[in-house]
Every structure is written in structure tokens, then in C-alpha cells.
Amino acid sequence: MATIELQKVEKKFGANHAVKPMDLTIADGEFVCLLGPSGCGKTTTLRMISGLEAVTAGKILLNGKNVTWSHPSERDIAFVFQFYALYPHLNVYDNIAFPLRAEGEKKEAVESRVNEVVDILRIEHLLKTKPGKLSGGDKQRVALARALVRRPAAFLMDEPLGALDAELREAMRAEIKQLHVAQNATTVYVTHDQVEAMALGDRIVVMSDAVVQQIGTPAEVYYDPANLFVANFIGSPGMNLIAGKLHDGRVQVAGGVDTIPVPVGYRNTLPAALNGAGDVTIGFRPESAILADDGDIAGEIYAVDMHGSYKLLHINIGNGATSGIVHVRADRMVTFPIGSAVRFSIDPKMMRFFDPQSKQAIQQEVTQ
Amino acid sequence: MSDFYETGPSKPVTESIRVDKVSPKARRMHNIRAIVVVILAILMLIPILVMTQTAFKTRADVVSVPPTIVFKPSLEGFVFLFTERAIAPPGRIKALQEAAETGDLSLFDRVALNSGQEITGLSDYVGRLTNSLIIAGLSTVFAVVLGLFAAYAFSRFPVAGKDDLMFFILSTRMLPAVVVTIPLFIMYRQLGMHDTHIGMILLYTVFNLSLSVWLLKGFIDEIPIEYEEAALVDGYTRMQAFYKIVLPQAITGIAATAVFCLIFAWNEYAFALMLTSDTARTAPPSIATMLGRGGIEWSAIAAGSLGFLIPVAVVVFLLRNYLLRGVTFGAIRQ
Amino acid sequence: MSSVELQHITKKFRTVTALNDVSFTVKNREFFVLLGPTGAGKTTTLRIIAALLHQDSGSVLFDGESVDDWTPADRDVAFVFQQYSLYPTMTVYDNLAFPLRSPMRKTPGPEIKEKVQRAAEILHIGHLLDRKTANLSGGEMQRVAIGRAIVREPRIFLMDEPLSNLDAKLRESLRVELQHMQKTQGNTTLFVTHDQIEALTMADRIGVLNEGRIVQVGTPNDIYDRPATTFVAQLVGSPRINLFDARVEDSQLWLVGSKISVPCPTDRTMPATVQVGIRPEDIQPDPKGKFSGEVILTEPLGVETILHIRSGEQVLTSLIPGISSMRLHDTVHFNILRDRLHYFDDSGKRIGQ
């Protein structure tokens, strides 16, 4: 088992940064997700940890030992690829045994270790099958088994569920998490899917434009996003972000009728950040809005989505432009025709504030 | 070595490369490999270099042993290539020698003086080259156009016995073409197509058609059928969808196929030798027969070969982007 | 805009039956979603309506009139493909204008310009008109593809998984846009997808297709609340519905391999063995809950958390609001909402209403 530490690691392609200098310490047994849209540098980061990509600057420590310039095979790390990378001419057993045989293990040892991982992943019935005949989920199970059989110090996974369809992805996600719970191996997992990152990660590293935006637990990135990017990226749909104004110790939502008092946690920090008054971006999650006839904010229904266990109302609070649309979660039985007028309020405890210029979150004071 | 593991390479890495590939040892190996490749490339170019040099050498330079590397370029070879000559009478040589002492001689006079031959008229080289251009060019056009329609049909329509037909088309390539030279010769003579342009164009078209159908089918298969279906529901006919949608996208494949057909028809020797004698004779047999006439004019042969090389080289150069994309496009398929 | 009716459509590819006696009607100005897994025959259905394929038997009717002998151009439908729908050699403007310039319509230049501009405005792609389509992002491409459909004012929109190649955020926003556009413009739309969320969120009515047969047609609420078969129940809803074998004993329904039992419903006749379906949101933790189990996995998704609870040999999936503070191996007490249970017989058919 292993700890992984990145110290000021960066990567340039030509003059452009693929990853700007980043620090990250991963504890033994931790499951860390690198999350971000395509091109944000998450896969490059993973490849640098594995040694498949040489760093431009910085240090990578594995168990405290500098491995920045070690060959990938000397790092004791297993890599799981999105497209499985199984050897098509070998059957499942030989695929799983391959890394052990490469290390010159004895036949009996190979057999017992293969059987061990086959047991964990419940793929006994597939051992004689060639990869070409397997379903996507089974292929990824075999790929996981092949990674597991080496007993590596850490697992690196590059969108292992990216090629599966939605239903299977949900089931395999739970399986990977179960595997991690049982094995407790240090894992770095790359994904562009925030649901996956939230469900799996002990901690999430949110990246965008080659820069780490926030490192935190699922609850931290969900409830207290560090900036506007994270606020919008996490959640489905993301946090509603609307313009507002602070004056006289009260906040007014753009388009809103009433002013509301600044929520408790922000009583001091908000005026301090805005020098007393000024424009502010207000953030709230779809479930933090409450439909009410006397709500602070008025809008009209743009679209209504049925999601099974709930409905999502898309409410236009601007003046006809799509940018003025907020999403509000509502009971599954409510019905509104498109164009009808509604009002809602925001739960003050769940309100978040951002500086529209710097795009950074304004901190809350921890209340006793 | 241990130094590298501590501090890394001396210059920051700003390319996509695996860690072990940036070690000094790997970099050295990389350089060695690069040098070997360059040397190999130069070795491959030597024949063309020698040919080009020879084309500009004088008779004396051509046959000198050891071969001259640095020499005074001369157009003698080209003069020989484009002209017919006869042994000059002694009086003529004398006159030329006297003229040379008093003033400048024209290029032709100088060649006559040096070689002892007098120019009697133009050679047939230009005519042969023109034949090559007409025959190779038109046969390529026909092979590609016919191949395109056939390939489209094979790719898009449920042609009965499609696989068998495709195999049959390929089977025409399964025996050496030379085998059928004699029957063709007899057939062509009977039909009065011996030594005609139309005969040669037909022959090369037929020979290239199998290649063209197979290559183009591969390229058309790669164009998603959705594009045409979109055009069909948008209110266009099948034919309009073909030339508005398919053709622009198949251009890469068409260019690549055309180049392959052109090169085959341009270089073909055996049929041209057997089935043509004069009117429709193409450049390859004609350059070869230059060997036989009197003393071997190496510089003229080299000049002729160089002239023969230039048109295809130009076409390939102009289409090089298509060609490269076309070849890899067809090759990498899931 | 037209209504579209399919009557007993059957289509075979060699020995494989792609569609088996498929009948349904898309009403005028309705948003109808055809939902089913890969290979169910969804795309074949669309292609038959567009006349890109011809059925072996059965009839396609537009506004009650048979169009079986009509060509794709005659049928005047718009087709939005999953991908490859834009002509890569043309600009966005030319792509949008392409259907209008067809020999069938021969729209005059100024009118083309006006229609293209209007479609571009609706879909927010006005700034892209001069671009080559190869340089567009996935979302922009699909907007243009939809734009090419709406410039035409066709009789029906056919959409073949147009959102499935886009990333999650884009899919969300285009879903809302599509729904809004359809509702405000009133286009008859037949939308094909394998994604149950797309079906639930956008459809007026959903037709569930499996192995070439229509399994159920109904509103999103019908499909979610009263699935006709276990297949539909499992297809719709995320996380998936819990499905257990159960035995009737002493007018109690016992979930096999667990200590969980619920009173047998009295308003319908129950066979001795049934399958019980429980939606994850209907398993609700409650300190005073009647049942208990061990938490074996938590998946915090943000707005809610998926709890995997082991009770006996069974594992139940529960969906609870917020990010749960439950830890692994905690004991959790819970209730099951009885009036929201689903019962199926051994063949998978729904029992009762």
C-alpha cells in the first residue's frame, strides 16, 4: 500500500501548460478522483503519476521515495484503461496471468493468485473466454482483475467506465467502490462525470484549464464550492448562479422584489469582501429553493422535467434569455404549464456567495 | 546515470513522452536511430542522384573510371535525346573546328564537334512522352470514374452476390499480367487495335479497374451513410446526394486511387512493348530501345529517364497530402 | 405538422426480426419518445417512417393517409441523426440552407436567408453561420443539426438519439432547450433514445420498445408509477428499482432471503410467488423504522445519496436526500412505502392496476 505525493508537478506541451504546478498528497488507502471536463489536464496528471508521461517540473513521491524519473514498471503501480487494453489473442485466464508471468512467477503461484482475484471479481465462468466475446462490463472486470493480481502499491484508473452504457456504469460504479472498500488500495481515478466522482471519491480534485480548482470531500465540493467553475460543474444540474446586490446589510436578487437579510454565516464576511456594498453572485442548489406564493423571486416556467422521483422546474427569472434560467427541484406531482408565473425563495442556510470579478467563493464564518 | 534518477534531464521536457524515453541513454539511442534512418534515406536516393548527374554529363565524363563526382554540366545528353543524328562528313568537322577558333559556336555545333555526329532531325522522344501522357492520363480518368460508380454501388446497394463479384474483380489481379500478352496481341491485331491509343487506354483502364474498385469501396464505406440519408430526407435524389455529398468527401480517396492508377499506367512496359510499335508507343519501351541504337548514349538515356520521371513526380507532389491521408485513412479501420 | 400512425409494422433483416407487429400513434403536436435498449428496433422504426427502409408488412400513415409508396423526399420529414448529420465540406449556413435549396423546394435566396436566420436565432447559433462544421464542438454540431430540421417546417421531426454523444452538462441544457422549443412551436416529434432520463424529462408520452415489440405506451407518470412489466420497471428510474422474489404466507409477502415482509394487498388476487418492485426513494431510513439492515456501501451524489443496505441475503438500494452521514457497517432502520410497491407475476407482468 502506498502514499502518493505530487510536489509542484507541472506539464507543458510546447509553450502551453497541460497541467499548471499542482500539489497533492494522497493518503494510504485513499480513493481520489481527478474530475474535470475534457482537456483539463486530469489524464495528463494520471499519466505523470504512472510515468507514461514525463513531468516538465516538480517531484512525484511514492511512499516518500522520489520516483519522478523512474521507469513506469519500477513504480509498482497498476493502470486500468478506458478501453480495457486486454490482449485479444489470450483468454481471460492468460490475460490475468500475464503480468505475473512477465515477472517470472512459478506456475502454482500464478494459479493461486489468479484464482484469488477471479474470486473477488466473480468471473470464474469467464476464464476460458477470449476478450472479444465479453460484454463491456466483463471486459472491465477482467481488466480490474489483471491490475489487482499484481498486488500493486496503487491503482490508477483512466475513465474505466467511460465506454459502458448508463445502466451498466451505475452497477460497475458500485462494484468498483465495493472492491475498494474490501481491498483498501490507494486509488487515483480519472473521470469527467461528476456523479461518478462524487459516488466513488473519498476526495475529489476538480480541475479545469490545467489548474486545480478545488480539492475536497464530496460534501465540501457540493456544499461549499471554491469558485464558480466548481459550483456549476458539480451537481446535475449545477448550482444556480444568479446576480444580486448587497446594500444596507441586505441582499437583493436581480429581478427579485424583496430584499433578504444576509445569512448568518456571511454577516461579516460578505460586507468585508464587497467593501460594504456592491454586486455579488448568489449560488443555490436546485433543492435549496422553495416554491411559495409569497416567495422572494418571481419567474415564469420555461420547461418542466419529470425525473421519476422528483420534478425539475426550469424557471426563467431574466427577460427571455436562456441565461436567466434557474433550476428548482420540486415534488413529482406538481404540474405547471410552460409560461406560467411562479415564485420561490432560497433557503438562507444554503445560500452561497461569490465575487463576480474574481469568480471565487466568499467564505462563511463557522457559527458555533 | 544515478544522477538522472535524482535530477531528471538537463532540459525541461515539454513534449508528450514516457519517462524512460528522456533518459540520456534513451536520447542517445534515439539520435543513433535517427542517423541510421537518414543514411538509409540517402542510400535510397543515390540511383536518382546518379541518374540526374549522368543526364548532365558529357560523353567523356559518363564513361570515365573512377566516375567523376564533380564535373562541368553539359546539355549534350538532352541534345542527343531530342535529336536524330548521323556521322558528320570530315569536311564538316573541319569547318566547325575552324569556326571554333575564331568565335563562339552554337550549342548544337559544339555537340556535333565533340561527338563527330551531325543533327539530322528531331527524335521521337517528345511524341512518345505525349503518348504516355495521353494513354496514362485518360486510362486513369476512366478507371477512377468507372471504379467510383461500381464502388458506390457495391458499398451502398444490396447487389446480389456482392462478395463473389468483389472477389471476381480482384481475381483479375491474381496472375501476372504478362501471361496474357500473347492472346491479347493476337486479339488486338484481329480487332485492328494494335498500336492504337484507344487500345492501350482500354487495356490500362481494365487493368486498373480492379484496384480502383477495391480501393474506392474502402473509402466510400468509410463515409457514413447518414450523410446521404440526410440529403434524401432533405428532398434530394440519390444522384444529387451522390455528387453533392459523397463526392466532396471521397476526394481524398479518389486522389489516392488516381495516383496509384496513374503510376501503374505510366510505368507499364511489357504490354506497351508488345502491343505498340509506333503511333501509340509510350515512353518506357522507347527509352529502353535507345540502348540498342549504335553506341550507348548513357547521358541521353539518363536525360530521357529524368524527363519521364518528372510528370509523375509532379502529380504525386501536388497530391501528396491526399495521398498520405488517403493511404492511412483506408488502412486504419476498426 | 402531422400525426403519424404505425399499423402492425413488421421488419426482418434476413433471419432476424427487428420489428414485430409494432403499432402506435404520435398525435399532432405531441412529443413522443421511443425508449428501449440497444437493438430494440428504435432506429429501424424511425428509418421506416422516413422511408429510408421499407417495412415487410404493415402501414405508415400521416394524418390518416397511407404514405407507404412515398419516397423520403415526398414524406417531408426531418431527421436528426445521432452523429454525422452535418455535411463536413460545407459551412454552417450552407448546411442549414441545404434542405431549402433542394429541387423539391427551390426556395428563393432571400427567403432562405430569412429562414436560416430565424432558426439560428432559436438555437443560439447565429455567430457560427460562417464556420466550417468540422470546427464545431459536439453541442454546436447538434444544435446546427436540429436547426437544419426546423428551417424546413416538416410534417414531423424524427430524432435518433441526438444527445447521446454529448457530455452530461450539454445534454442537460439541450434537453431543456429541445423541450421548450417543442412546446412553444408545437412540432410533432418522435424522439428515439436508450436513456430513460431523456424519455422521462421530455416526453408527452413514451413508447417502450423491447426486442422489436412495443411493451408499454403511456405518459412518463404512467411508465414510472405503473410499469407494465419488470423490464419497464428496471429500464426506467435511476438508481434501478429493487426487484425481489417474494412468497405469500399468512397474507404476508415475504421477500426471499430476508426478514422483510409486507402485508399482501387485498385489492388484487396474488399468486403464491410474485416479484416485488420497490423504488429506491420508497425505502426511507427512519430511526423508528420497521425493518433494519447493515449499510454496505454509500454513494453520495450530492443532492441525494444511494445507500446499499444488506438485510439477510438481500441487498436493497435506498435513495435518501442530501449527503448522508451514514458510515459503512452502520445499522440502519427503514420503512418501505407500501402504497408505492409494484407486484409482478412470474412472467414479469404487472399484477393489478
Q: Are B136 and B167 found together in one domain?
A: yes
Domains in chain B, number: 3
- Give the range of the structural domain holding residue C135, as residue numbers without chain letter: 4-235
Whether B245 maps to a domain, the answer reads yes
Compute how many other C-beta atoms are within 10 angstroms of the C-beta atom of residue B102.
7
B177 touches chain C (CB under 8 A): no
Domain boundary among C191, C219, C235: C235
CB-based contact C124 A322, cutoff 8 Å: yes
Q: Are C230 and C246 found together in one domain?
A: no
Whether C253 maps to a domain, the answer reads yes
Name the minimum distance, in Å, from the CA of B252 to any CA of chain C.
12
- Chain A residue with Cα closest to B21: A54
SS3 at position B197: helix
User: The CATH number of the domain where B134 resides is what?
Assistant: 1.10.3720.10
Q: Are C160 and C250 found together in one domain?
A: no
- Does B333 score more than 80 pLDDT? no
pLDDT in tens, B112-127: 777 777 788 888 899 9
* Cα angle, residue A240 at apex, residues A238 and A246 outer, rounded to 5°: 145
User: Band of the pLDDT at B326, cuts 50, 70, 90?
Assistant: low
Whether B171 maps to a domain, the answer reads yes
- The backbone region for C237, taken as left when phi is positive above 0, alpha when psi lies in -120 to 50, beta otherwise, is left
Instruction: Residue C71: list chain B partners with CB under 8 A.
Output: 232
Distance of alpha carbon A72 from alpha carbon A74, whole angstroms: 5
User: Band of the pLDDT at B148, cuts 50, 70, 90?
Assistant: very high
User: The CATH number of the domain where C321 resides is what?
Assistant: 2.40.50.140
Distance of alpha carbon C123 from alpha carbon A322, whole angstroms: 10
Find all residues with CB under 8 Å of B101, minimum gap 6, and list them. none
Q: Are C69 and C157 found together in one domain?
A: yes
Distance of alpha carbon B183 from alpha carbon B187, whole angstroms: 6
Q: Are C197 and C256 found together in one domain?
A: no
CB-based contact B235 C99, cutoff 8 Å: yes
Q: Are C17 and C48 found together in one domain?
A: yes
- pLDDT, average across residues B173-184: 85
CB-based contact C98 B237, cutoff 8 Å: no
Which pLDDT score is estimated for B121?
A: 83
Q: Are C188 and C314 found together in one domain?
A: no
User: Band of the pLDDT at B292, cuts 50, 70, 90?
Assistant: low
Q: Are B188 and B252 found together in one domain?
A: yes
Q: Are C165 and C124 found together in one domain?
A: yes
Q: Are B131 and B119 found together in one domain?
A: no
Tell me the residue length of chain B: 334
A325 touches chain C (CB under 8 A): yes
Q: Are B15 and B83 found together in one domain?
A: no
SS3 at position A16: strand
Whether C167 maps to a domain, the answer reads yes
Whether C351 maps to a domain, the answer reads no
Q: Are C223 and C249 found together in one domain?
A: no
Q: Are B132 and B270 found together in one domain?
A: yes
First to last CA, chain C: 35
Positions of chain C with pLDDT lower than 70, given as ranges: none
Name the minimum distance, in Å, from the CA of C122 to any CA of chain A.
11
Domain boundary among C203, C235, C267: C235
Pairing mode of beta strands A325-330, A278-284: unpaired
Q: Are B297 and B210 found together in one domain?
A: yes
Q: Are B138 and B266 found together in one domain?
A: yes
Pairing mode of beta strands C31-35, C205-210: parallel
Q: Are B208 and B242 found together in one domain?
A: yes
Q: Are B180 and B300 found together in one domain?
A: yes
Best of A44, A59, A69, A71 to disrupt the B interface (most B CBs within 10 Å) is: A69
* Set of cell numbers at residue A168: 451498466
Whether B70 maps to a domain, the answer reads no
What are the φ and ψ backbone dihedral angles of A358, each rounded to 5 degrees? -80, -15
Whether C84 maps to a domain, the answer reads yes
Whether B300 maps to a domain, the answer reads yes
Subunit partners of chain A (3 or more CB pairs within 8 A): B, C
Q: Are C266 and C219 found together in one domain?
A: no
Name the minimum distance, in Å, from the CA of B168 to any CA of chain C.
24
CB-based contact B5 A69, cutoff 8 Å: yes
Find all residues with CB under 8 Å of C216, minimum gap 6, and list them. C206, C207, C208, C222, C223, C227, C228, C229, C232
Instruction: Residue C237: list chain A partners with CB under 8 A.
Output: 308-309
Distance of alpha carbon B79 from alpha carbon B58, whole angstroms: 11
Q: Are C96 and C199 found together in one domain?
A: yes
Q: Are B36 and B20 found together in one domain?
A: yes
Whether B113 maps to a domain, the answer reads yes
Q: Are C200 and C298 found together in one domain?
A: no
Whether C349 maps to a domain, the answer reads no
Distance of alpha carbon B275 from alpha carbon B194, whole angstroms: 6
Angle of helix C168-185 relative to helix C138-150, nearest 10 degrees, comes to: 10
Whether B233 maps to a domain, the answer reads yes
Positions of chain A with pLDDT lower than 50, given as ranges: 320-322
Whether C262 maps to a domain, the answer reads yes
Q: Are B327 and B290 found together in one domain?
A: yes
How many angstroms separate the Cα of A72 from the Cα of each of A64, B17, C182? 17, 12, 53
Whether B39 maps to a domain, the answer reads yes
Lowest mean pLDDT among A13-22, A235-244, B168-177, B190-199: B168-177
Domain boundary among C187, C219, C235: C235
Domains in chain C, number: 2
Q: Are C53 and C141 found together in one domain?
A: yes
B230 touches chain C (CB under 8 A): yes
Instruction: Residue A199: list chain C partners with CB under 8 A.
Output: 299-301, 306
CB-based contact C72 B232, cutoff 8 Å: yes
Distance of alpha carbon A340 from alpha carbon A315, whole angstroms: 10
A361: which DSSP letter?
B
User: The CATH number of the domain where C98 resides is what?
Assistant: 3.40.50.300
* Set of cell numbers at residue B290: 535507345
Domain boundary among B106, B123, B140: B123
Whether B20 maps to a domain, the answer reads yes
Identify any residues that bridge with C5 across adjacent strands, giving them in sequence order: C25, C61
Instruction: Residue B234: list chain C partners with CB under 8 A.
Output: 73, 98-99, 102, 148, 152
Q: Are B172 and B295 found together in one domain?
A: yes
Residue with cell 512493348: B273
Q: Tell me whether the omega of the peptide bond preceding residue A88 falls within 30 degrees of 0, making it cis.
A: no
Mind listing the domains of chain A with CATH numbers? 4-232 (3.40.50.300), 237-354 (2.40.50.140)
- Give the range of the structural domain holding residue B311, as residue numbers without chain letter: 126-331
Name the minimum distance, in Å, from the CA of C206 to any CA of chain A.
12
Q: What is the mean pLDDT of chain B?
A: 87
CB-based contact A56 B14, cutoff 8 Å: yes
- Does B225 score more than 50 pLDDT? yes
CB-based contact B5 A57, cutoff 8 Å: no
